[in-house]
Amino acid sequence: MGAGHGHKLHYHGHSVVHRAPAHLKILVLLGFTVLVVATPGEWYAAFGAYLLVIAVVVGVSRVPATYLLKRSLIEVPFLAFALLLPFVAHGPRTDVLGLSVSESGLLAAWALLAKGTLGVLASLTLAATTEPHELLHGLERLRLPSQLVQIMAFMVRYLDVVTGEMQRMKVARESRGFSARDPRQWPVLARSAGALFIRSYERGERVHLAMLSRGYTGRMPRIEGRP
Amino acid sequence: MNAPVLDVRGLAYAYPDGHQALFGVDLHVHRGERVALLGPNGAGKTTLVLHLNGILSADSGGHGAGAVSVSGLPVEKANLAEIRRRVGVVFQDPDDQLFMGTVRADVAFGPANLGIRGAELDRRVMHALDQVGMAEFVDRPPHHLSFGQRRRVAVATVLAMEPEILVLDEPSSNLDPASRRELADILRSLDVTLLMVTHDLPYALELCPRSVVLSGGAVVADGSTYDVLADEPLMRAHRLELPFGFDPRNVTPRP
């Protein structure tokens, strides 16, 4: 197994946005998201302004727009839901492209679309300009309970390891002629997922042993004085 | 004064599921020795290692007998913190050992658990990384390092605790020949008592003047590594095999 290189969300850079303290960025993201969600759907100009703000921040950070757009595909399932709304909502109806749709549903779909996209873009910008461990430090500085920060830290650390393991299992399956095109083959996938779970669980136990061996007593030591 | 660093007497252990792994093990390691612990798979090597720092013991579940002490301090619940400082265990998979966001934080984890802070903590971290030649990687996340580099950082995480004995589980496994040799150079340069669990017999011969063979949960041989490896009947009886073409008699010992 080769070493993973970089988290898939982070885009290396040295801009002002990259260098800003992580806890500040988290607070700004939180504030921005709350503001966007609280804005009534009819204030179309406001959403344009929000998008402009994100565009400016992304421009300053020098993260390529395509880099963010590709990753914002994660939003697609929500979009599908948004597209359904005009057809299922009640109330007065109007005609769009020859289809009769609900007016309130249309507005709700627009609001969901606009707010969702803005939220996703803003979060991706944060992720692209902040290293995961800086993010954790930021959360710690914001006084998030240390247990939660620890759990997230382990997640960040072992995400690559577990995905690597999953990838190797997939390669090993496919090397033996397996392909999961057919629902009849899903039991195999389920068993793989089970094996992966057991392996991750056992790794968790080994990590715990290694921590105990270095004197872990249940609390992360506070390590200050990072230069 | 001359208490052995590691003193294992009559150690027996059965896991909670009833599987007995150790049947009365005696082992003494003195200061400054480098000892290889050899044995086939399932011989109880890992079980023995986990007893050395009190992860496993008769009172951690399971049934056991016998005693382990480290520089005269018995391995008991009351002494666990000090025992884990004295016995540094490097596990086989570096991904199990390196779990923090940066190399610095990982190496600092052990000494910080001992209550060390500030400048002294920094000194320990940098010194340990210097010893394994990884100082320049101090601010990198461990999962961006190569496997060999991660193995070396894993050794540093334990060195930073300034242990009296370094216990390595399969240090050469999965390393390419160059990383394997680099690790050997590092281990040889350390001024620390060493117990090395390994299947890599040439590595044992290269690094450890003394070898102990564990088989079926008991010590079946304890002597110079050369004598153990050259004893064909003993080797065969305990599923120990030299790599093809390797003959200890043709190896000139290191000065």
Instruction: Give the pLDDT of residue B169.
Output: 92
Domain assignment present for B248: no
Domain assignment present for B211: yes
- Partners of A153 on chain B (C-beta within 8 Å) are 99-101
What distance in Å separates residue A142's CA from the closest CA in chain B? 18
> Of B244, B254, B98, B91, which Cα lies nearest the Cα of B184?
B254
Number of domains in chain B: 1
Q: How far apart are CA B33 and CA B5, in angstroms?
A: 9
Measured CA distances, B93 to A206, A210, B98, B147, B151 (Å): 9, 10, 9, 9, 8
Q: Are B63 and B13 in contact (CB under 8 A)?
A: yes
> Of A153, A160, A169, which Cα lies nearest the Cα of A220?
A153
- pTM score of the predicted model: 0.75
Whether residue B109 and residue A5 make contact (CB cut-off 8 A), yes or no, is no
Instruction: Give the pLDDT of residue B255.
Output: 57
Q: How far apart are CA A32 and CA A122, in angstroms?
A: 8
A153 close contact with B: CB closer than 8 A: yes
Residues in chain A with pLDDT values less than 70: 1-7, 175-177, 179, 222-227
A225 close contact with B: CB closer than 8 A: yes
Mean pLDDT per 10-residue section of chain B, whose length is 255 residues: 85 90 94 94 90 82 85 88 90 84 88 89 95 94 89 94 93 94 94 94 95 95 94 94 90 70
* Residues of A (66-95) whose Cβ lies below 8 Å from B: none
Per-residue pLDDT tens digits for A137-168: 888 888 888 888 888 888 888 887 888 888 88
Whether residue A213 and residue B53 make contact (CB cut-off 8 A), yes or no, is yes
Helices (H), chain A: 16-19, 22-38, 44-61, 65-71, 76-88, 103-129, 132-141, 146-175, 186-213
What distance in Å separates residue B184's CA from the closest CA in chain A? 22
For A224, which DSSP code?
-
Domain assignment present for B207: yes
- Partners of B142 on chain A (C-beta within 8 Å) are 157
Measured CA distances, B109 to A44, A115, B3, B121 (Å): 52, 42, 29, 10
What distance in Å separates residue B149's CA from the closest CA in chain A? 10
Q: Are B254 and B206 in contact (CB under 8 A)?
A: yes
> Of B6, B12, B106, which Cα lies nearest the Cα of B53?
B6
- Partners of A136 on chain B (C-beta within 8 Å) are 101
Amino acid identity for residue B252 in this structure: T
Predicted complex ipTM exceeds 0.85:
no
A110 close contact with B: CB closer than 8 A: no
Cα within 13 Å of Cα(B197), Cβ side: 23
Domain assignment present for B244: no
Which domain covers residue B149, as residue numbers? 6-238
Pairing relation of β-strands B87-90 and B165-169?
Answer: parallel
Domain assignment present for B247: no
Whether residue A225 and residue B122 make contact (CB cut-off 8 A), yes or no, is yes
Which two tokens mark A181? 């095109």
A226 close contact with B: CB closer than 8 A: yes
Instruction: Give the pLDDT of residue A195.
Output: 82
Q: How far apart are CA B255 and CA A145, in angstroms?
A: 56
Instruction: Give the pLDDT of residue A177.
Output: 64
Q: Are B129 and B157 in contact (CB under 8 A)?
A: no
What distance in Å separates residue A140's CA from the closest CA in chain B? 14
Whether residue B84 and residue A209 make contact (CB cut-off 8 A), yes or no, is no
Domain assignment present for B254: no
Q: How far apart are CA B136 and CA A149, in angstroms?
A: 27
Whether residue B105 and residue A223 make contact (CB cut-off 8 A), yes or no, is yes
- Partners of B146 on chain A (C-beta within 8 Å) are 2-3
- Domain CATH for B148: 3.40.50.300
A213 close contact with B: CB closer than 8 A: yes
Enumerate chain B positions whose Cβ falls within 8 A of a Cβ in A. 50, 53, 55, 81, 84-85, 87-89, 91, 93, 95-97, 99-102, 104-105, 108-110, 112-114, 117-119, 121-122, 141-147, 150, 157-158, 161
Burial B42-51 (b: 16+ CB within 10 A, else e): ebbbbbbbbb
What distance in Å separates residue B138's CA from the closest CA in chain A? 11
Q: How far apart are CA A160 and CA A153, in angstroms?
A: 12
What distance in Å separates residue A130's CA from the closest CA in chain B? 13
Instruction: Give the pLDDT of residue B33.
Output: 95
Please, which residues have CB within 8 angstroms of residue B24's CB and are 6 or more apart in sequence?
Answer: B10, B11, B12, B65, B66, B218
Per-residue pLDDT tens digits for B154-191: 999 999 999 999 999 999 999 999 999 999 999 999 99
Instruction: Give the pLDDT of residue B230.
Output: 93
Domain assignment present for B1: no
